[in-house]
């Protein structure tokens, strides 16, 4: 305010004519002994030295000065428009002649009705334009539509305060973290000799496998946690080491190389034939009875359910698969390395060994939005029950790899600005980052984004870099935020399986990048869901 610490304008009218400040005094208005009294409907008397007309003029001048200071340009159309003020006393009549403090031309009282308002506003502008013309030879300009809109935004612009993205994702994580009833049932069955536990992505299979290993190890059993994916093995091993759990963790191929003493060769069939067949041929020497395990806990079992791998497993557990103790956690929809028919035949045989079968149906990894987006994109069955709502899935179309790269970096910058940590963000692609088919191939990464590191297997909690993996390398793992880039198809079976695996890795936020000319494919996949 120009001459007080604080002032208040009851109403500001923004019109073509300019800016009109209105001072409203309800109830009784009177002046006594040089003091102004304003008595409301409850009889409360507010006494002031300054009358309503002086208040209106002081507030109008203060608003004008505020806008000059705010806009920093006296020639701005908002600063050069006409400014006026008026007084409204709807409960009483102001009828005093020749009073220096009262201006009848800008007074609206009990004698007036709402129909008089347009003319009254017009007269108020006319009165003050005349005064400014007398004193300054300037009456003020009209306001254009764009200037009126600008002024509205300055005085009372729209806004919305939303929780930081990082807080929203953390809250979603908390909702996803609690155990489900069906998980408790499976935990109670950990002492079953043989178990087959199936479930779509996100239903908690790895968590259950790890907990089963802990419980059986605590009871004195010699347990081997086995999987196909090196990243999963590293993750599980690290957690067990932090807990000081003496539980052996390995991928099948690492285990076989350790036992046979073989090193990886350039032979394309090394892992599928050469290595496992050598182990099978010498299985009695590599796995004597005293070295066999009491319990096998196999995670991501669909990747190991082929004939040659099953023959290897047969010799690793006491009593073999038909009489020994084992649990296999699997999702047939993630069988991106093998054949579905062979997988089903093996599971049928394992069931014949008297395995207890459990099925998980509650998705405790992905939000409802992520799981639904996965279903629309892949037409692959998801868990039937979702535990938590979350952020919508982001879909980003690109016309060129350079455009995709810029959009990916722009999104990362936004996520970081909203409090998301670098170690929460994982980029997945069908291609390695050093493959020219990836949009990040030979990309220059801005310093504010930091390093994007390919296939980091150790420092998973470091906030110094963002991790990048191929979809196959990250299978079985998860991250709070997944950016799935370089998608080149939606309809072929191998594309659907790869997209299913990639999208189901996201816990709370999923952003998908695909070529613009694939939009019709994506729309067809969405429409297919209504026919399934």
pLDDT tens per residue across span 417-442: 888 999 999 999 999 999 999 999 99
* Residues in CB range of 218: below 8 A, 6 or more apart: none
Biggest CA-to-CA distance, the chain? 119
Q: What is the pTM of this model?
A: 0.58
* Residues in CB range of 515: below 8 A, 6 or more apart: 397, 398, 399, 487, 488
Q: Give me 45's structure tokens.
A: 């008397």
Q: What are phi and psi of 127, to 5 degrees?
A: -60, -50
Decide which of 440 and 334 is more confident. Answer: 440
Q: Would you state the pLDDT for residue 528?
A: 87
Rounded distance between C-alpha atoms, residue 527 and residue 273, angstroms: 42
- Got the DSSP string for 306-364? SHHHHHHHHTTBTTHHHHSEEEEEE-GGG--SS-HHHHHHHHHHHHHTT-EEEE--EES
Q: Is the pLDDT of residue 335 over 80?
A: no
Q: Would you state the pLDDT for residue 337?
A: 54
Q: Would you state the pLDDT for residue 167?
A: 72
Q: Would you state the pLDDT for residue 42?
A: 76
Rounded distance between C-alpha atoms, residue 518 and residue 497, angstroms: 17
pLDDT digits (tens, 9 = 90+) for 445-501: 998 899 999 988 777 778 889 999 999 988 888 899 999 999 989 999 899 999 999
Q: Is the pLDDT of residue 174 over 70?
A: no
Distances (CA, A) of 455 to 103, 255, 348, 412, 429: 79, 21, 36, 18, 12
* Residues in CB range of 403: below 8 A, 6 or more apart: none
CB 224 within 8 A of CB 248: yes
Q: Is the pLDDT of residue 373 over 70?
A: yes
pLDDT digits (tens, 9 = 90+) for 66-102: 999 988 888 999 999 999 999 999 999 998 888 889 9
Q: Would you state the pLDDT for residue 179?
A: 58
Rounded distance between C-alpha atoms, residue 365 and residue 176, angstroms: 6
Rounded distance between C-alpha atoms, residue 34 and residue 134, angstroms: 30
Q: Give me 234's structure tokens.
A: 């590293």
Rounded distance between C-alpha atoms, residue 17 and residue 19, angstroms: 7
Q: Would you state the pLDDT for residue 279?
A: 95
Average pLDDT over residues 309-317: 94
* Residues in CB range of 105: below 8 A, 6 or more apart: 123, 124, 127
Q: Is the pLDDT of residue 340 over 70?
A: no
CB 483 within 8 A of CB 412: yes
Choose among 244, 262, 266, 240: nearest CA to 253: 262
* Residues in CB range of 415: below 8 A, 6 or more apart: 165, 425, 481
Burial 242-257 (b: 16+ CB within 10 A, else e): eeebebebbbbbebbb
User: For the chain, percent helix, then strand, then coil, each to nearest 5?
Assistant: 45, 20, 35
Q: What are phi and psi of 181, to 5 degrees?
A: -60, -40
Q: Is the pLDDT of residue 105 over 70?
A: yes
Q: What are phi and psi of 20, to 5 degrees?
A: -120, 125
Rounded distance between C-alpha atoms, residue 94 and residue 285, angstroms: 112
pLDDT digits (tens, 9 = 90+) for 203-250: 888 989 999 999 999 999 999 999 998 888 998 999 899 889 999 999
CB 328 within 8 A of CB 196: yes
Q: What are the chain's domains?
A: 11-161 (no CATH), 180-363 (3.40.50.300), 368-531 (3.40.50.300)
């Amino acid at each position: 305010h120009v001459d007080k610490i604080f002032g208040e304008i009851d109403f500001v009218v923004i019109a073509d004519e300019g800016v009109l400040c209105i001072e409203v005094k309800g109830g009784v208005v009177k002046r006594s002994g040089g003091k102004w009294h304003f008595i409301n409907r409850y009889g409360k008397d507010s006494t002031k030295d300054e009358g309503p007309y002086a208040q209106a003029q002081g507030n109008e001048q203060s608003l004008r000065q505020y806008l000059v200071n705010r806009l920093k340009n006296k020639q701005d159309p908002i600063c050069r428009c006409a400014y006026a003020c008026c007084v409204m006393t709807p409960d009483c009549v102001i009828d005093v002649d020749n009073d220096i403090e009262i201006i009848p031309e800008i007074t609206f009282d009990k004698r007036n009705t709402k129909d008089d308002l347009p003319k009254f506003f017009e007269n108020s502008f006319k009165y003050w334009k005349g005064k400014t013309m007398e004193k300054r030879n300037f009456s003020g300009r009209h306001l254009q539509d764009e200037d009126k809109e600008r002024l509205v935004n300055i005085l009372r612009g729209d806004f919305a305060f939303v929780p930081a993205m990082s807080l929203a994702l953390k809250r979603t994580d908390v909702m996803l973290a609690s155990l489900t009833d069906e998980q408790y049932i499976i935990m109670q069955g950990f002492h079953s000799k043989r178990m087959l536990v199936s479930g779509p992505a996100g239903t908690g299979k790895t968590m259950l496998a790890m907990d089963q290993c802990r419980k059986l190890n605590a009871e004195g059993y010699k347990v081997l946690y086995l999987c196909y994916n090196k990243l999963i093995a590293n993750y599980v091993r690290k957690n067990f080491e932090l807990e000081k759990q003496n539980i052996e963790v390995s991928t099948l191929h690492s285990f076989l190389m350790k036992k046979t003493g073989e090193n990886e060769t350039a032979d394309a069939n090394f892992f599928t034939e050469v290595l496992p067949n050598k182990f099978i041929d010498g299985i009695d020497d590599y796995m004597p009875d005293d070295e066999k395990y009491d319990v096998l806990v196999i995670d991501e079992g669909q990747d190991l359910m082929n004939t040659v791998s099953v023959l290897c497993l047969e010799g690793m557990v006491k009593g073999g698969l038909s009489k020994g103790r084992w649990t296999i956690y699997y999702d047939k929809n993630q069988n991106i390395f093998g054949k579905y028919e062979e997988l089903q035949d093996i599971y049928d045989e394992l069931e014949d060994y008297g395995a207890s079968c459990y099925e998980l149906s509650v998705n405790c990894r992905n939000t409802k939005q992520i799981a639904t987006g996965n279903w629309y994109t892949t037409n692959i069955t998801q868990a039937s029950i979702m535990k938590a709502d979350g952020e919508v899935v982001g879909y980003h179309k690109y016309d060129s790899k350079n455009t995709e790269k810029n959009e990916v970096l722009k999104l990362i910058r936004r996520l970081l600005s909203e409090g998301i940590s670098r170690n929460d963000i994982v980029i997945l692609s069908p291609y390695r980052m050093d493959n020219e088919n990836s949009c990040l191939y030979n990309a220059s990464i801005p310093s504010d984004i930091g390093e994007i590191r390919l296939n980091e297997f150790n420092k998973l909690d470091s906030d110094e870099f963002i991790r990048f993996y191929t979809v196959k390398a990250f299978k079985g793992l998860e991250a709070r935020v997944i950016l799935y880039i370089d998608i080149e198809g939606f309809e072929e079976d191998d594309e659907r399986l790869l997209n299913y695996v990639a999208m189901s890795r996201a816990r709370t936020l999923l952003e998908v990048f695909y070529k613009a000319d694939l939009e019709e494919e994506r729309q067809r996949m969405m429409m297919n869901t209504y026919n399934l």
